[in-house]
Amino acid sequence: MSSFCSVISQSSFSISFPHFPLLTFQSHSPSSLFLRKSVNLGCTRESPSIKIHSSLTDFSVDVAVEEKKLIKGETWSVHKFGGTCVGSSVRINNVADVIINDDSERKLVVVSAMSKVTDMMYDLIHKAQSHDKSYISALDAVAEKHSLTAHELFDGVDLATFLSNLHQDVTNLKAMLQAIDIAGHATESFTDLIVGHGELWSAQILSYVVKKKGTPCNWMDTREVLVVNPTRADQVDPDYLETEQRLNEWYSLNPSKVIIATGFIASTPQNIPTTLKRDGSDFSAAIMGALFKARQVTIWTDVDGVYSADPRKVSDAVILKTLSYQEAWEMSYFGANVLHPRTISPVIRYGIPIIIRNIFNTSVSGTKICHPSIIENEDRKILRNYVKGFTTIDNLALVNVEGTGMAGVPGTASTIFSAVKEVGANVIMISQASSEHSVCFAVPEKEVKAVSKALQSIFHSALYAGRLSQVAVIPNCSILAAVGQKMASTPGVSATLFNALAKANINILAIAQGCSEYNVTVVLKREDSIKALRAAHSRFYNSETTIAMGIIGPGLIGSTLLDQLRDQASTLKEESNIDLRVMGIMGSKLMLLDDSGIDLVKWREIREEKGEVADLEKFVQHVHGNHFIPNTVLVDCTADSVIASNYDDWLRKGIHVITPNKKANSGPLNEYLRLRALQRQSYTHYFYEATVGAGLPIIGTLRGLLETGDKILQIEGIFSGTLSYIFNNFKDGRLFSEVVAEAKEAGYTEPDPRDDLSGTDVARKVIILARESGLKLELSDIPIENLVPEQLRVSASAQEFMQKLPKFDQEFMQKQEDADNAGEVLRYVGVVDVINQKGSVELRRYKKDHPFAQLSGSDNIIAFTTRRYRYQPLIVRGPGAGAQVTAGGIFSDILRLASYLGAPS
């Protein structure tokens, strides 16, 4: 096909296609394209050539205007408003007010296209290339959007002028899209020319609004001024010398203290229309800031500033008051929604601060990006957080090239990355051990197949000969980056990061840290990405220990624990930096869930109002997975064996477990051993102090003896507060049934006293201590002396049992009298005989001067006979029953967990 050409005269230009009708594009000033020199829009053999010629007479210039010299420096401030800021007439009005209210002497405003318009313009081109005629109606919709906005904002001559220009632009665009439709292809220059119209229209609209509000201004089509050199498909480099010359010329003809400039668009040195690619408006603002040597560049957006982490993933993320250029650069590279790295480059040379602010919340000062020296002078407090921010990149794969033949062989890394370059893959991170045995690097997952194939091909001989052992691909990876300029001079930052990840049970696949130490990068499995982000952020920004809690069983003990947490939570946070948040409360029928923490003052009322049907799986998922807190603990305050059967699964998921429920530890031996093994093999903790002595430190004391090398010989104790109360009061001629009834009335017994008198509960405590001492016993191995008369064990109800119990008072009275005559007392005890590897639960007699005879009320007492305490046993004594002391024992385990997770002890 022969070439075609287009010539623009002072009033119009035409495009002639061989064998196709003549297309004429009208030119007007100032909104249509005008350039000072001949413009080539991309002539190739495959695509037609279009040449646009224009002279300075294409736009209106008052030759009588005296040339003005551009004064640069601190009097200028630069503002950039993104698409959401100018997305409607109301928002454009707000932007105009911000511009007018800024007290800077001179202002340059860079404006994006209205929200979604750039995407709509790209879609027009796509439709035209696909021969989809709906591009005509789609373009009309874009025009209608701008026409309606203009009607809402201004009127009179300004409105007529804008609408006329808009109409001419749309006419020309339709002709250009028709040409693309005919050719089935759009050159890059054609594409850039079309999509840049959104900025042209929004800049004109904003300039008319500012003038209507009484502030004189000029608008700038930055294609007249900004010259860039394309370097690759997604990047351009500004030509500052040529741009500065053109800027001076433009300003001499358009002097103003307020300039509204188009973002995103520019020209090449050959005057070909181009764009600054995605995020180009921010880049435009930074370039203009550098050219004007402005006091500052303010990027107005729809967020309050730069966050310490993605607030959609970490709800406790905080606004950073300051960032260094390097920190912002690093965070941008690793995926943070800060600024594109290239946006920062133009302002660094002159030390011009960039401010990120929210157009919808102007009361917030935002984030200042500047030199570190300014940060130290302005905000010393922020330096306590040596890691400023955390970012993640998902959908990556890790490639590992490994083999002994790599060590000491020059050029291996060069060969690897040359192959990667050939397939056009982007290397996100590289890690190599000093042994040179392996090189691993992360690439986008969509590119890893090509990378692997290229490496397999180029290293085919080395793999066959065994010099390389493998080219392995680990899919489904993510990167977590910790960024902070002060990290470089602060020991222990990496250790703290890795410790936080380890305690959240997260495995690290690879690590990289540059010598600048501005960031530490780790690769991990994608499913751990959000959890890792929350764990790391929590460690550096939240309390030293923030723990999400789920309380299962809000009965007497559970509700008492919740009340204790309510009374103590604020004190713990203020004095010990322990932040305990109850994210869920579940009973047998209802559960209450909250994303940020339940109000423990009103939890009962809220549960009645907002409670939902109890669902254990949903409850666990909510507490563990749907919030920003990395450390999770489930507190089982029930005596339910079904709940206890879930402990293994919870621990495997990295959920800590605390419970007074004896069912798991006294159940099948293999299940107990599995739980203990899980606890030892991971950073997940399983605490159950309250299973034996309520609030007494029985398990802790036993472990302390064993861990310091002592040998347990025997453990003997009164483990039931109920039975302690009964036998402490079964004296002086009182009837056994009378004392049991008294204990039941006082609330010491279970609703059915047979549950206490059977001795099963004591046996469970004995088996727990036996297993903790190293004995591998089942509950069935423990002989139990059942205090329930055999005839009453089948009684239909507790009431029937209590009615018939007096018939057996004489039997119990005889035992008591026999003991009393011998100068002894009756005590119901559990015994762990470690030497003979057995245990028992029975009614024993003790001399009246024995420690077990000195008890009162419902106290428990446990005696440890060990190699160190052989002749005088170690005694632990105190209240062993009651909701307050049991809940206190659970609370103590919670605080012990906090201590293990890093809270001050």
Q: Which residues are catalytic?
A: 765
By the 8 A CB rule, do 79 and 99 touch? Answer: yes
By the 8 A CB rule, do 324 and 372 touch? Answer: yes
896, two tokens: 């012990």
Q: What is the DSSP string of 549-565?
A: EEEE--SHHHHHHHHHH
625, two tokens: 């997975």
Residues in the chain: 905
Beta bridge partners of 393: 479
Pairwise CA distance, residues 446 & 318, whole Å = 33
169, two tokens: 């632009």
> Is the torsion defined by CA of 509, 514, 520, 526 positive or negative?
negative
Question: CB burial class (10 A; 0-12, 13-18, 19+) of residue 699?
Answer: buried
By the 8 A CB rule, do 282 and 354 touch? Answer: no
Give the count of alpha carbons within 13 A of 524, CB side only: 20
Residue 766 neighbours by CB under 8 Å, 6+ apart: 719, 782, 830, 831, 832, 839, 840, 841
Which residue do the tokens 């009708």 mark? 21
Give 616-640 as a 3 state SS string: HHHHHHHHHHCCCCCEEEEEECCCC
Q: 731-735, long-range: CB within 8 Å, 24+ apart, which pairs? A: 731/816, 731/820, 731/825, 735/806, 735/809, 735/813
CA distances, 532 to each of 125, 430, 517, 521, 525 (Å): 42, 20, 20, 12, 10
Q: Indicate the residue type of 364.
A: V
By the 8 A CB rule, do 582 and 549 touch? Answer: yes
By the 8 A CB rule, do 742 and 770 touch? Answer: no
Pairwise CA distance, residues 229 & 237, whole Å = 5
Q: What is the DSSP string of 71-111?
A: PPSTTEEEEEE-TTTTSSHHHHHHHHHHHHH---SEEEEEE
By the 8 A CB rule, do 430 and 396 touch? Answer: no
Exposure string for 201-229, b = 16+ CB within 10 A, e = fewer: bbbbbbbbbbbeeebebbbbbbbbbbbbe
Beta bridge partners of 762: none
521, two tokens: 């990068």
Pairwise CA distance, residues 36 & 58, whole Å = 9
End-to-end CA distance of the chain: 83
Assess whether the previous peptide bond of 255 is cis (omega < 30° from 0): no
Q: Indicate the residue type of 150.
A: A
51, two tokens: 């040449």
Q: Decide: helix, strand or coil at residue 803.
A: helix
Nearest to 865 by CA among 759, 712, 751, 741: 712
Helix 412-422 and helix 445-458, axial crossing angle in degrees, nearest 10: 130
Q: Decide: helix, strand or coil at residue 166.
A: helix
716, two tokens: 């003997």
Give the count of alpha carbons within 13 A of 297, CB side only: 31
Element (H, E) at 468: none
Pairwise CA distance, residues 905 & 896, whole Å = 8
Pairwise CA distance, residues 163 & 222, whole Å = 21
Pairwise CA distance, residues 857 & 751, whole Å = 19
